[in-house]
Chains A and B, each alone.
Chain A
Amino acid sequence: MITIEDLDVLEEDEFAELERRIETQIAIWEIKNLRGRMAIFHDDQHIGEPRLELKAIHHPSFDVEGEMNFRKTPVVDSLEGNMLIHPITTPIIEVNKDNSKARGLWWSIGIEGLSKFRETPMAIWSVGMIPGVHVKEKDGWKILSGMWQRTTKNEFHAGWVEDMQPTNTRPQISKEEDRARLGKYAYQKNEKRKSISQPPYPDTWEKYPDELDQTWQEMK
């Protein structure tokens, strides 16, 4: 066990470097927790209930009005029969040198129940990815950007080759609009899969220092 006396004798630069390295490891831990909490909120769609803020609403680029409008807009008549269970897997997280920004990529394999108008729910099976950027605000790590990137989303019995369910919105968007949004890189039986999103590498913050630059996700 390290004591305070042990740390007392470290040189200033040794101590600072130890602090920085430990903070990086804790950042990765906290960002994993953050995305885990987000996955729970994804399933818990109770509109208007107070909850911990997980997004970087104090960042100058953040569209607070758009986010709040999105949160108060129902997309189903009743929560009965609805479910969005998306365990997140395969974390790859790279934090910048001063522990203020982090890029991450996760995969996810999930099941859903969808009942838009109180009809018998549709069982849905889906696979996707979550590329994201995170920043440290006064009260901890927050999600600046990055949402679900669909690979498959299908009625359970139909399978992903035969079926692709669009994102449930009100008003419902067309399949073409859906392809331009969350389904942009989704699996299509008549297309070749694109290599997006790419995972962050250790040099991601040297190559792409701006947290708003999303080109780190693209194949180079």
Chain B
Amino acid sequence: MINLERKEKLRNQMIRLEAYNEIQNQMGRFTAAINYKEMKCMSFFSNEREDVSLEYADEGIFVGREAIQTFLSESIGKGYEEGELIDFQLTTPIIEVAKDVKSARAVWWSPGITSLAKENNNPQPIWLWGEVAVDFVYENGQWLILHLHYFRTVKCDYHKGWVEDTSMINRPNIPMHPLAQPTTYHNPYHSKAIRYGIPAAPYAYETEDGANWMLRNDKTK
């Protein structure tokens, strides 16, 4: 017999199915905004959660909209210079919507390239491969980013390749951004380093409880 419980279950299944595609659309639009160096990328972050965060490689974790906006504004806010290029792409989506359909966890593998402008010289072509792990929350009719962590795998000169050139895998030894909190995980490819399955693939879960699932396979913790 059809009852409220079954109606609720059907509704949840429908929302989960729609979420699977809506989240890919949202993350694609976010990636487009980053690739085009547009500050509308901020519109994809949660407006309601104080713990909204962005962690990028070993630049630290930026918590709160103000910190994220500052970091992104300084990174991409000036738009393109001649010869610059950012091209992240998203593949291999693994998306899990919480049983309570209020949040979702996702991981993408991201191949990409960039060109770094050089004064009085040709731009430098660079490989840029990594993984993106994201917590989404449903706010006012759309899925928004609660936590985003970009895990760098490869950043190297295109011509030298990732085995020979490890000069860009870690940030230079200059002060961290004053708004950055300590990096939670950074293990880019290096010929002397060992790989781990991090970020972990999200599994089915009940309700949103933080971003620790991304580091589930971190054996140092």
Q: Which residues of A contact B (CB under 8 A)?
A: 2, 5-6, 9, 18, 21-22, 24-25, 28, 87, 89-94, 105, 107-109, 127, 151-152, 157, 159-162, 187-193, 195, 198-199, 201-202, 219
Contacts and interface: CB of A to CB of B under 8 A. Distances in A.
Contact of B113 (A18, A21, A152, A202): A152
Interface stretch (B67-75, B117-125, B193-201): B117-125
Interface of B: 2, 6, 10, 14, 17-18, 21, 24-25, 28-29, 31-32, 36, 38, 79-85, 87, 89-91, 111-113, 115, 122-125, 142, 158-159
Given A91-B24, A162-B122, A18 B87 contact: no
Contact of A90 (B79, B89, B158): B89
Nearest to B81: A192
A106 B122 CA distance: 29
Given A18-B14, A160-B113, A190 B83 contact: yes
Contact of B21 (A2, A28, A192): A28
B160 to A, nearest CB: 11
B87 A189 contact: no
A198 B125 CA distance: 24
B29 A201 contact: yes
11 contacts: A5-B2, A90-B31, A90-B90, A151-B85, A152-B87, A161-B83, A191-B83, A192-B79, A195-B38, A199-B29, A201-B29
| Nearest 3 CB-CB pairings of A with B | A92-B28, A195-B36, A89-B89
Contacts of A5: 2
Given A89-B89, A93-B21, A189-B82, A160 B115 contact: yes
Contact of B122 (A6, A152, A161, A219): A161
A199 B113 contact: no
Contacts of A9: 2
Contacts, number: 104
Contacts of A91: 24-25, 28
Main secondary structure of the interface of B (DSSP, over half): mixed
A24 B22 CA distance: 11
A107 to B, nearest CB: 4
A193 B36 contact: yes
A109 B25 CA distance: 19
Contact of A193 (B2, B6, B18, B84): B84
Contacts of B38: 195
Contacts of B82: 189-192
B182 to A, nearest CB: 31
